[in-house]
Amino acid sequence: MKLALYLPNFRDRVTVQELADLTQLAEDLDFDSVWTLDRIVVPEASDRGELKYPFGMMEQFPLQMPVSARGEWLQGWPLLPWLAAKTSKVRIGMSITDTPYRAPGVLAAECATIDHLSGGRLNVGVGSGWMPEEFAASSASHIFPKRHKHVRETIEIMQGIWTNDVFEYHGEFADFERCGFGAKPVQTPHPPIYFSGLKDPKRSASRIAKYGLAGWIGIQDTPEEIARWKTEIQRELEELGSDRSLDDGFDMCSMIWFVITDQETDQTPNRKLSNLLVGTAAQITDNLKRFKEAGMTMPLLWPPFTDVPVSKTLDDLKRLKEEIMPKVDAS
């Protein structure tokens, strides 16, 4: 099982130095990757609990973000070239880049440059977004009803730009004649693409099969949910006539809150609100073993939004690597 760090750039207050300290530790501990979070805005309506939809359109979450509209979070995308310069080993990415907020050709060209800055260490995570208020603030309200199609076109444009000297595309969200977009990515044929699909295994399987995606990223998934997603995606792939096996280098991932506690936490299953990697070292060890058995290849360890200082997370990451993972790897 690989380890990834989900940087807490989305908090009411976070400093560049805190992100630097976390990133350096992930590099020192030989983590696979470091990811940032994509959040353009927090509507003031969120502070009143009046968002149109809960986070990710998942019913267990409130109609309120965990960060205030007046919070001072840092944008995830501009952190990627900074991460490229700050590191030399870990892979870097953003989970997840909501494509409707970006012009596909611009995104593809910028990804190629970041792949050069990092020496070929970029992961590209893509998803559709879920918050109408954020679409409005990003001048993309017209895309919201067709946001899943925007993801498809973006993937096609990225792959086309990355693998051709010149490329043209004629779709709904981009329409351009043959152009060159500068340097191709270092990685061949292109950086691995991860897809975030929170609701529909059929849609996920279709994109994995059609575009040769490298991984799937969920959020707060239990071991049982990881096993179900993996089984359903594999079944859909077979129905599509694909010979792709998810056991052959495909990353099954989930963004999961992570804190090592002194006292045992309630481990009663509660879907997305379960204490999956919040608990004592023994509880986390047991749950990581269950995740491994279920087919998860890489948890994205997510420090909570509040109440846990970065100094605590730094200590927890060291304990995870030194005390917990040897037991998980041996299982």
% of the chain exceeding 70 in pLDDT: 100
91 DSSP β-pair partners: 33
Q: To the nearest whole number, what is the mean pLDDT of the chain?
A: 96
DSSP annotation string for 235-285: HHHHHTT----TTSS-EEEEEEEEEE-SSPPP----GGGS-SEEE-HHHHH
Q: What is the distance in angstroms between the CA of the first residue and the CA of the last residue of the chain? A: 11
Q: What is the DSSP letter of 145?
A: G
Name which of 56, 94, 62 is nearest 75 in CA terms: 94
Q: Domains of the chain: which residue ranges?
A: 4-330
Cα dist from 51 to 54, 57, 66, 101, 199, whole Å: 7, 11, 12, 19, 20
Least Cα distance to 217 among 153, 145, 297, 310 occurs for: 297
What DSSP character marks residue 187?
Answer: S
Dihedral pair phi/psi, residue 98, rounded to 5°:
-75, 105
Q: Among 49, 37, 66, which Cα is nearest to 129's?
A: 37
Does CATH number 3.20.20.30 belong to domain 4-330?
yes
Q: For residues 184-203, give the mean pLDDT.
A: 90
* Segment 133-180, tens digit of pLDDT: 999 999 999 999 999 999 999 999 999 999 999 999 999 999 999 999
Res. 204 pLDDT band, cuts 50 70 90: confident
What's residue 62's pLDDT?
A: 95
pLDDT in tens, 43-87: 999 999 999 999 989 999 999 999 999 999 999 999 999 999 999
